[in-house]
Chains A and B, each alone.
Chain A
C-alpha cells in the first residue's frame, strides 16, 4: 500500500497519467510481478448467490499453500446473473477464463488445477476472453 499512500494527495492532470502507468501493471497483470489474478464478481447478484463463500475458500487455499504471486480481487457484476457466482482467472500471458455457477469446493479445485497446475477446469469454465468495449 505504499504506492497508494504516496499518491493520496491532491492530483494534477500529470499525476493521473503516472497513476495510470503505475497501476496498469497490477491491474492488467503485465509487469506487477504477479503470475495470476483471480477476480471474484461481487455485485449484489453474485453475493446473493454465494460469492463471499467462494472468495473465502480461495483466500483460505492461498494461505494454506502460502502462495504470494496470485492477486485476488473483487469486482462488480459480470453481467451473466443466472450463472453467478462467477470468477475470472487470468494467468499471465493467457486469455482470461470465466468460471460460472461456483461454490467453495469448485473454487478449491480451480485453485489446485488451473491456478497452480495450469490446466483449465473445463467442467466449470464458461468462456475464454473479454468482452469488446469500445
Chain B
C-alpha cells in the first residue's frame, strides 16, 4: 500500500474553483509527476472550507500550512521549497484577517471537521431525483470505467486489495464474496442490495438511499460486471417510502439513459434492477431469509452451506451487499485501492457511517475514518452528553450488538477491536445511554425486540430468547432470584451456539455485555430489590433527603400526583401512597436532594407514617 508522506488538501468549493482551483490542481499534478513525487505526495480535493475570499486555498498536511490565493505559477515554487526542502513559503501563507468571521466555518466545528465523507460524499449536495447532478459529481464514471476497460478479475482484484469489508454488520470481505460468486459457472446470477435496515436507531442506509440513490445503482452495476450477474434486486423495507420513491425514480432515469437495461453505455453489458419491498421483518436482513422473501416465500433463513454465492436466490449464485458497501464501491474503482486504504486501519480500511443518537447533543449521521476512538465520536462529534448528564454506556450494533462502558471508550472503532468488547460494529447504530437509564431494562428492551422478531424456525432462538426475556422481566419487576444471572449467561451461550442464523446467534449479545460490564446492577436488582437508576418502578422509592433539601418546591410543582408537599424553605416530603414513581421530582431537583431508594423503602416509609398518625 502506498503511504503518502504529505497530503495537499486543495479546496474544491465553488469559490476556490471559480478562482482557478482546478488549474492549480492540474499544475500541481503535472509538477509532482515531473519531479517523480506522485507516489509520495497526495493531492486531494476537499469540500468548501469557508475561506472563499482567500481562494484558491490549500492546506499541506502533516504540518498544516495554509496557503491562500494560489495561482498555477506558484506551484513549482511550493514543490521546490516546501515539499522538497521543507521550507514553507511565507509569501503565500494565510494571514489572520483583522476581523474574525463571526460565523464558524466547518473546519472549526468538530461535528464537521472530524468527518470524512466517502459513502456520504453527495450528502445534502445533490438533488437525489436529478440524475444529471449525480453525473456532474462524477456519477457513473466508475461504472463506465469498469464496464469499458476492466475485466471481472481486475475489478475483484481492486476490491480485494482495497480490503473493503461489508458495512451491513458482519464485515465479510466484499472482494472475496465477489470472487467466490465469480468462480461459479452458471447461466444466470443475481446481484442484490440489502436495504432492510432493521436495527432500532439506525438510519445510515435510509439516508444514502434517500440522498444519493444512484450511487447504490452504480455500485450494483460494478458488482454485476464482476460476478457476471444480469439481474438485480434492491430489497427495501416498505417503511422507507421516501427511499423507495427516490430509488424508483433513479432506476427509471437510469433506464432512460441506458445506464441500466441492455447494452449499458454501449458496452454490451446487460443489467436489470428491480425494487423488492420488504414488510419490515428484522430477520429478512439475514441473507438467506431475504432471498426467500424475494422468492415470495415466508422470510425464514435456511442452513448454510451451500453459501449464497453458489446457491442463493432461486438457487442461483447470488451476491448480496449492503447499501453502504455499494456506496463505497464507485470511488474505489475511480481512485484505486491505495486511496481507499489511506484512511482506516490495516484490517479495517476506509470509513464507516454511524447513526449517532441517544443522549448526546448532536444527533445525526456521521462518517468517520475507521479506527477513531469511540470517545472522540461521542464527545467531540456528538458534542458530549445532553443536559450535562453522565455517560453510562454506548450501544453499538443494535439488537445483535452490545453495550460498551465508559472504561472502554478509548476503543478504536474497527471490526476487531469492537468485537473484543463483546459488541459489534454492526450496521452502524450508535445509541448513547446516560445515567438515567437502567442497564437491565436496556438489555430487556433489545431482547424484547429479538424475541418479537425471531422467525420461529429454530427452537433455541424461538424458545430461548423468550425464556431469557421472561427472566429479565422478572428481574425488573422484583421477582429476580439468586442464580438468574448465571442462568441468563448459560442460556445465552446455548442460543449463540445452536441457533440457525445470525439473528439467534447474536440475540443474547446485549444481555451478555450488560452482565459483563454492569453485573452489579443485575445484582442490586435481584439481591437488594433496588434499581439504582430509578427506572424499574417496583424496585424504586423516591424520597427527599431532609438534610440537603433547600425547600425550593420545584419537586412539588412538577408532581402530577400532588404527592410532594412541604413549606417553602423547609425540607419537603413525598407521600409514598400517592407516588407513581414518574421521576418528575427527581429530574426537577437542582440540589440532588431527591434520592432513589430500594423498592421496599416505600413500604417502610408508609408504615412509619401510619405509626406517626396513630400515636
Query: Contact residues of A with B, CB < 8 Å?
Result: 4, 7-13, 16, 19-20, 22-24, 27-30, 39, 41, 43-45, 47, 73-83, 86, 88, 90, 92-97, 120, 122, 125, 127-134
Contact = CB atoms under 8 A, between A and B. Distances in A.
* Most B Cβ at <10 Å: residue of A39, A88, A93: A93
Interface string B264-308: 011000000000000000000000000000000000000000000
Contacts of A94: 15, 52
B103 A133 contact: no
Contacts of A12: 265-266
Q: Which 4 A-B pairs have the closest CB atoms?
A: A76-B211, A10-B258, A130-B47, A129-B50
A2 to B, nearest CB: 13
Interface in B354-398: 357, 361-366
A134 B116 CA distance: 7
A17 to B, nearest CB: 8
Given A133-B46, A134-B45, A128 B103 contact: yes
* Most A Cβ at <10 Å: residue of B18, B106, B258: B106
Contacts of A43: 206-207, 210-211, 242
Contacts of B483: none
Contacts, number: 196
Given A73-B130, A132-B116, A133-B122, 4 more contacts: A28-B17, A76-B210, A122-B102, A132-B9
A16 B334 CA distance: 15
B132 A16 contact: no
Interface stretch (B140-148, B174-182, B518-526, B534-542): B140-148
A90 B14 CA distance: 9
B102 A127 contact: no
Contacts of B132: 4, 7, 19, 22-23, 27
Nearest to A94: B52
B377 to A, nearest CB: 14
Given A30-B14, A132-B116, A77 B106 contact: no
Nearest to B138: A20
Contacts of B111: 80
Contact of A127 (B112, B133, B138): B112
A20 B126 CA distance: 13
B84 interface: no
Given A11-B258, A19-B136, A44 B362 contact: no
**Helix, strand, loop or mixed for chain B's interface?**
loop
B121 interface: yes
Contact of B362 (A16, A80, A93, A128): A80
A127 B123 contact: no
A77 B123 contact: yes
Given A129-B105, A131-B47, A74 B133 contact: no
A1 to B, nearest CB: 11
A60 to B, nearest CB: 20
A80 B364 contact: yes
* Most B Cβ at <10 Å: residue of A29, A92, A122, A133: A133
A41 B258 CA distance: 29
18 contacts: A11-B259, A13-B266, A20-B141, A23-B133, A28-B136, A30-B18, A39-B125, A76-B123, A77-B365, A80-B362, A81-B365, A95-B50, A130-B13, A130-B47, A131-B123, A132-B9, A133-B47, A134-B46
Nearest to B145: A13
Contacts of A83: 364
Contacts of A29: 14
Nearest to B101: A128
B386 to A, nearest CB: 9
Contact of A95 (B105, B117, B144, B263): B105
A20 B124 contact: no
Given A13-B266, A97-B103, A129-B105, A134 B258 contact: no
Nearest to B149: A13
B124 A77 contact: yes
A27 B363 contact: no
Interface in B225-256: 240, 242-243, 256
B144 A39 contact: no
A129 B242 contact: no
A12 B1 CA distance: 34
A132 B137 CA distance: 14
A125 B103 contact: yes
Given A13-B265, A125-B103, A132-B115, A79 B365 contact: yes
Contacts of B362: 80, 82
Contact of B207 (A47, A77, A92, A97): A77
A4 B256 CA distance: 12
A8 B135 contact: no
A79 B99 CA distance: 30
Contacts of B135: 16, 19-20, 23
A36 to B, nearest CB: 11
A74 B242 CA distance: 13
Interface in B188-210: 203, 206-207, 210
Given A28-B14, A79-B366, A122-B102, A131 B117 contact: yes
B105 A131 contact: no
Interface string B22-62: 00000000000000000000001111111110000000000
